[in-house]
Structure 1
């Protein structure tokens, strides 16, 4: 959507992308426009929700998730399970962010 906004020329027409998306996502001080890398930003937000499941297990949201998806164990050892919700699949997909950052 962002690239269509910057390079689109109307309905059904394609514009020319003069600069790569990777270049535009670089910080302004490095010659880019400072756009966010949406995939990394999404992973960071999902990782934050996973972190909350670990450090704030008494919150209502964490208790509901635990009762639904990993009632017999801990979040870091939980599995995706059978017919998980989109939210649970997304958080489990971002669990790697936590695994790389935990000490």
Structure 2
């Protein structure tokens, strides 16, 4: 079972690495792309494990409403996620991405299967 979790987390990380700078996606969009619709929570767990791994831009993954729900898992404190997003030109107010729909990156549409 542990091996399948590792493979799933690895698949999630490969998708997250493809999110372009200045764009964001959601846990559910990644789950949907990987063929496990309804497993957004598992994607969230994968993101929690990725913090500290600088090759995985976990700050670009938010909830379906554009809220920074994973911010408490970043090293450097809860403001680190917002700072990383703002460094890429993404505006955040009250823990929510401004104009979320216009910068949303859907792997199912952006990555051809």
Q: State TM-score, norm by structure 1.
A: 0.27
Q: Which has the higher contact order (CA 8 A, sep 6+)?
A: 2
- TM-score (normalised: structure 2): 0.25
